């Protein structure tokens, strides 16, 4: 009988289940191992190649000189100070723009917007993250840059500010979504307690809800920083790539990422110049690793609290 057949050998069924279980575990373990290996591979490639450069260049010159002229036949120079300053300037300016706006948007979505409005706005913001960076860079060239040049009476719009505005737009989605989740996770009872003590919506938001969501909000900011530091195409297209230490947001800057992207294609293999680009990559990698670890740590701390 059919019914009997399927129940006839419980031992085999058990064995098959056991096998499935093991195969599945093995598969998942392999996937995890693979991603760890790829990550470790990238890391060691960067460190290893970057390390070669320090045979020729002192650590001091690399980090603290702003003279970058690695292609010169006589007396090449390998200082990335200018790029680091440029990268930090663009990133910080982007955050000054994106962080308050992102938190305000997150607060609006979680505390003020009707469910209908939220269902409309949040996907829209998430869609922003899907715009290819080259398209954002393009907008910087044809829209934001010319606008800045006209408004501030500059010879051209390829400035740190241009890059910062574009990066702000690109960092906004991650800031808003992470911050909104953090604000929503604040227990309703905190808000009720605040209202019951005679405070209004605004006071409750500023003095209770946002502080309670604090570490999640900081994590959102740090994630945004990580996104801005690592972005390449947009800043490459929008900031003019001048190799100088910028005096202000209206100066052209060249970021670390842009330098790598511009020079990697033409550099002769195995030269100090070649290795120095890897050293920049390693520096960036460590920077964004630190940012992400901080964000992860803060987010974990927040989860424990709530």
Partner 1 sequence: MTDKLVVRNLNIAFGEKQVLKNVSITFPDQKIVALIGPSGCGKSTLLRSLNRMHDLTPQAMVTGEVLLDGHAILGAKVDVVDVRRKVGMVFQKPNLFPKSIFENVAYGLKVNKMGDKNLIRARVEEAIKSCYLWDEVGDRLDKPALELSGGQQQRLCIARAIAIAPEVILMDEPCAALDPISTLKIEELMLGLREKFAVVIVTHNMQQALRVADSTAFMYLGELIEYGPTTEIFNHPQHELTQRYIQGAFG
**Scanning the structure block, which residue is given the tokens 């934001």?**
144
Per CB under 8 A, the list member of 51, 54, 138, 190 interacting with partner 1 is 190
Q: How far apart are alpha carbons 184 and 120 in whole angstroms?
A: 17
Choice from 23, 193, 286, 289 touching partner 1 (CB under 8 A): 193
The whole-angstrom separation of Cα 296 and Cα 194 is 30
63 vs 202, which CB is nearer to partner 1? 202
- Is residue 1 a contact residue for partner 1 (CB under 8 A)? no
Give yes or no for residue 207 binding partner 1 (CB under 8 A): yes
Dist. CA 280–CA 278, nearest whole Å: 5
66/243 Cα distance (integer angstroms): 8
Using CB under 8 A as the binding rule, whether residue 199 contacts partner 1 is answered as: yes
Query: Binding of partner 1 at residue 250 (CB under 8 A)?
Result: no
Sign of the dihedral through C-alpha 136, 138, 142, 148: positive
Six-digit token string for 229: 């530091």
Residue 194 interacts with partner 1 (CB under 8 A): yes or no? yes
Binding flag, residue 123, partner 1 (CB under 8 A): no
Nearer to partner 1, 30 or 305 (CB): 305
303 touches partner 1 by CB under 8 A: no
Among 187, 264, 290, 300, binds partner 1 (CB under 8 A): 187
Q: Does the footprint of partner 1 cover residue 112 (CB under 8 A)? A: no
**Number of residues in the chain:** 306
Separation between Cα atoms, residue 53 and residue 271, nearest integer Å: 9
Q: Residue 183 Cβ, how far from partner 1 at the closest point, in Å?
A: 14
């Amino acid at each position: 009988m059919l019914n009997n057949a399927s129940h006839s050998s419980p031992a085999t069924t058990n064995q098959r289940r056991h096998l499935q279980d093991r195969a599945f575990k093995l598969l998942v373990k392999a996937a995890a191992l693979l991603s760890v290996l790829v990550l470790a591979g990238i890391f060691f490639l960067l460190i290893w190649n970057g390390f070669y450069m320090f045979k020729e260049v002192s650590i001091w010159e690399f980090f603290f000189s702003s003279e970058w002229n690695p292609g010169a036949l006589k007396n090449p120079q390998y200082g990335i100070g200018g790029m680091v300053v440029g990268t930090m300037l663009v990133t910080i300016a982007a955050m000054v723009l994106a962080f308050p706006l992102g938190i305000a948007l997150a607060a609006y979505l979680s505390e003020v917007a009707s469910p209908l409005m939220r269902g409309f706005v949040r996907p829209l913001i998430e869609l922003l993250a899907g715009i290819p960076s080259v398209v954002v860079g393009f907008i910087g060239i044809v829209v934001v840059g010319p606008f800045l040049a006209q408004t501030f009476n500059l010879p051209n719009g390829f400035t740190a500010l241009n890059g910062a505005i574009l990066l702000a737009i690109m960092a906004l989605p991650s800031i808003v979504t992470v911050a909104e989740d953090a604000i929503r996770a604040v227990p309703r009872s905190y808000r009720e307690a605040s209202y019951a003590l005679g405070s209004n919506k605004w006071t409750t938001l500023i003095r209770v809800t946002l502080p309670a969501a604090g570490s999640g909000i900081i994590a959102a900011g740090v994630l945004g920083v990580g996104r801005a530091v690592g972005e390449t195409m947009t800043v490459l297209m929008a900031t003019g790539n001048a190799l100088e230490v910028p005096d202000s947001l209206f100066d052209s800057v060249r970021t670390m990422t842009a330098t790598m992207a511009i020079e990697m294609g033409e550099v002769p293999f195995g030269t100090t110049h070649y290795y120095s680009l890897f050293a920049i990559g390693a520096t960036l990698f460590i920077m964004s690793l630190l940012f992400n670890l901080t964000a992860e740590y803060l987010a974990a701390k927040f989860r424990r609290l709530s």
